[in-house]
Amino acid sequence: MKGRHIELLAPAGNFIKLKTAFLFGADAVYLGGNAFGLRANAGNFTDEEIVEAVKLADSLGKKVYVTCNIISRDADMPGIKEYASFLESAGVHGAIVADIGTFFEIREAAPHLPVHVSTQANNLNSKTVLFWLKNGATRVNLARELSLEEIKEINRNVLEAMPGLAEADEPYLEAFVHGAMCMAFSGRCMLSDYLAGRSSNRGDCAQPCRWEYYLTEQTRPGEYMPVVESERGTFLFNSKDLCMLEYIPELADAGIGSLKIEGRMKSEFYTATTVRAYRIALDAFENDPESFKKDDALKKSLMDELMSCSHRDYTTGFYFGEKGGQIYSSSSYIRKTDFVAVCESCEKSGGGFKIGTVMKSPFSEGDELELMRPDCSEIIRVTVKGLTNEDGEKIERAHVPMMKSYFSVPFEVPVGSMLRRRK
């Protein structure tokens, strides 16, 4: 990967999150349509929204990839072919697949549509990666169970077999670097199907790995014995969240060309915070790799940012030869800030500016908030002064969900900036 721009790939659960990801620095987003993706309960995109998403991405020099990564059955194939034709005509920059049959159906129905292979396809070795690439895939997302040393070996073997990839403009290896981890091998899990009748392999996971479990004894049905790790119980399958921000040089050295953030089901605030942090880190690394390696203060400040939005304890997963990481005491998230509002407008007013906000959680006159701007500049503190409603009437508190309100600041604030309150 030396010398090639590393792509930052962000989740887009709906159009607002897509715009947020682009605004805060993502090079590309991945999203799901109304069928064939593995996040059936995300906001997802209509066909019309996918067309609009591609137009927006093209205007910004960015890209949109669409998930078609269910484990397909014969009954799915006609619909997949029709959908692939639509994605090709819409100008989508890549379809993400996990299934060999789906892959070949898409290649036949939409020969000009780039195809990326999902981590769900268990891409654990160079022969598998070469199978996909030699059959027309443009990119392979590697299994999360691989170490960096194994990825290096895969990359060496792939480049030896296909040396032209070394000069390719587009990444051919992609990997998850941030977000929720699945306790099952490459995400292929039957727990949800068995316990809740909802298939994780067809986009409808109920996340039983996050549930609290009890023991029963065969001869005493109905008697539940707690498995106690703490006063809140024990969560046997609950994995930590992945975070590789501090190890971008190692990821690049291994040959990974696209860094993928998990989280289509998470908030726009999560999207903005994680994308911004990785954007700053990637830019610093690509501008001066050696300085980034030594800049512990920068990495610490960006890790603090990643701690500020909802997350579980962080782990480096399998990258350094360890075995992921479990959390047995709780399945709940940790967060250090509350998402308060989004800046919707900013106009000159007197000797300063007046910003219009859309409320996400209540705030009051005199509150001290933190401003996170999409230009990746430093986080600054602002005090709410001169708070008014839409009609210009003075109010003491913005407390109605999605309420629009206004207050004064001494500097211009970019539209799309986010306000948060530190806990």
**Residue-by-residue DSSP string for 214-262:** EEEETTEEEEEEE--SBTTB--TT-BPEEE-GGGHHHHHHHT--EEEE-
How much is the pTM?
A: 0.86
Does the pLDDT value for residue 32 go beyond 80?
Answer: yes
Helices then strands, counting H and E runs in the chain, come out as 11, 21
* Strand 241-243, strand 173-180: pairing: antiparallel
Identify the pLDDT of residue 322.
74
Percent of the residues in the chain that have a pLDDT greater than 90, as a whole number: 70
Q: What is the mean pLDDT of residues 29-54?
A: 84
Identify the pLDDT of residue 325.
58
Q: What is the mean pLDDT of residues 164-177?
A: 95
The pair of three-digit structure tokens given for residue 243, joined into one six-digit string: 């975070």
Does the pLDDT value for residue 396 go beyond 50?
Answer: yes
DSSP state of 145: T
More confident of the two residues 173 and 206:
173
- Find tokens 């992921």 and name the residue: 324
Does the pLDDT value for residue 255 go beyond 90?
Answer: yes
Residue 14 Cα distances to 129, 174, 215, 246, angstroms: 30, 22, 40, 29
For the stretch 110-148, pLDDT in tens is 999 999 999 989 999 999 999 999 999 999 999 999 999
Residue 88 Cα distances to 10, 82, 100, 208, angstroms: 21, 10, 19, 36
Q: What is the rounded distance in angstroms from the CA atom of residue 129 to the CA atom of residue 137? A: 9
Identify the pLDDT of residue 44.
83
- Find tokens 């069928």 and name the residue: 35
Q: What are the φ/ψ torsions at residue 272 (nearest 5 degrees)?
A: -60, -45
For the stretch 287-332, pLDDT in tens is 999 999 999 999 999 999 999 887 778 889 899 987 655 544 454 5
The pair of three-digit structure tokens given for residue 397, joined into one six-digit string: 């508190």
Domain 7-181+242-314 in this protein, CATH class: alpha beta
* Domains of the chain by residue range: 7-181+242-314, 337-422
Identify the pLDDT of residue 367.
97
For residue 63, what pLDDT band results from cuts at 50, 70 and 90? very high
H or E element in which residue 88 lies: helix 77-90
More confident of the two residues 150 and 169:
150
Does the pLDDT value for residue 251 go beyond 50?
Answer: yes
Identify the pLDDT of residue 294.
96
More confident of the two residues 152 and 190:
152
For residue 244, what pLDDT band results from cuts at 50, 70 and 90? very high
H or E element in which residue 31 lies: strand 28-32
Q: Which of 219-223, 324-328, 392-396 has the lowest mean pLDDT?
A: 324-328
The pair of three-digit structure tokens given for residue 407, joined into one six-digit string: 């207050």
- In the CATH scheme, what is the homologous superfamily, with its name and number, of domain 337-422? Translation factors (2.40.30.10)
Identify the pLDDT of residue 328.
42
Q: What is the mean pLDDT of residues 257-261?
A: 98
Q: What is the mean pLDDT of residues 237-244?
A: 82
Q: What is the rounded distance in angstroms from the CA atom of residue 179 to the CA atom of residue 3? A: 27
Angle formed by the axes of helices 268-287 and 296-308, nearest 10°: 170
Q: What is the mean pLDDT of residues 229-257?
A: 80
Identify the pLDDT of residue 185.
52
Q: What is the rounded distance in angstroms from the CA atom of residue 264 to the CA atom of residue 419? A: 21
